[in-house]
């Protein structure tokens, strides 16, 4: 099961792309309530969004991003049938990808 949920909404000359990513986004300074040891840092380092295999968003993220980040942006153009792909890679080497077809 993917950690990414993608929703799109076509408008006159743009397409709204919204995504919710299930990820703990630990900054490495929180202590475990039972053991009192620090919880290791784990955060999305790189996020890439493509439309029909063309990169439209590429961003480096860091440990200050909130848990389960919600991201939204407007894509100039976009039409029914376009394939939106979201990929992320975290600092521990974990990754995920999800595809969505614009309706």
% of the chain with per-residue pLDDT over 70: 100
Domain limits, the chain: 4-101
Burial 23-33 (b: 16+ CB within 10 A, else e): bebbeeeeeee
Of the candidates 100, 99, 98, 96, which has an alpha carbon nearest to the alpha carbon of residue 44?
A: 96
- Give the pLDDT of residue 1: 80
Task: Write the pLDDT tens digit of every residue in 15-57.
Answer: 999 999 999 999 999 999 999 999 999 999 999 999 999 999 9
* Spatial distance between the Cα atoms of 51 and 23, rounded to a whole number of angstroms: 23
Q: What is the mean pLDDT of residues 79-100?
A: 98
Of the candidates 71, 61, 18, 17, which has an alpha carbon nearest to the alpha carbon of residue 41?
A: 61
Class of domain 4-101: mainly beta
- Give the pLDDT of residue 83: 98
Q: Which are the contacts of 35, defined by CB distance < 8 A and separation ≥ 6?
A: none
Predicted TM-score (pTM) of the model is 0.91
* Spatial distance between the Cα atoms of 74 and 83, rounded to a whole number of angstroms: 15
């Amino acid at each position: 099961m993917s950690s990414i949920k993608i929703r799109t909404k076509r408008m006159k000359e743009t397409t709204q792309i919204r995504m919710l990513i299930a990820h703990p986004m630990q900054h490495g300074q929180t202590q475990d309530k039972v053991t009192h040891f620090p919880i290791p840092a784990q955060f999305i380092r790189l996020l890439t969004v493509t439309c029909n295999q063309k990169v439209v968003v590429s961003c480096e993220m860091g440990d200050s991003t909130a848990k389960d980040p919600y991201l939204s942006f407007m894509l100039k153009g976009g039409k029914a049938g376009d394939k939106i792909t979201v990929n992320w890679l975290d600092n521990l080497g974990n990754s995920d990808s999800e595809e969505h077809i614009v309706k």
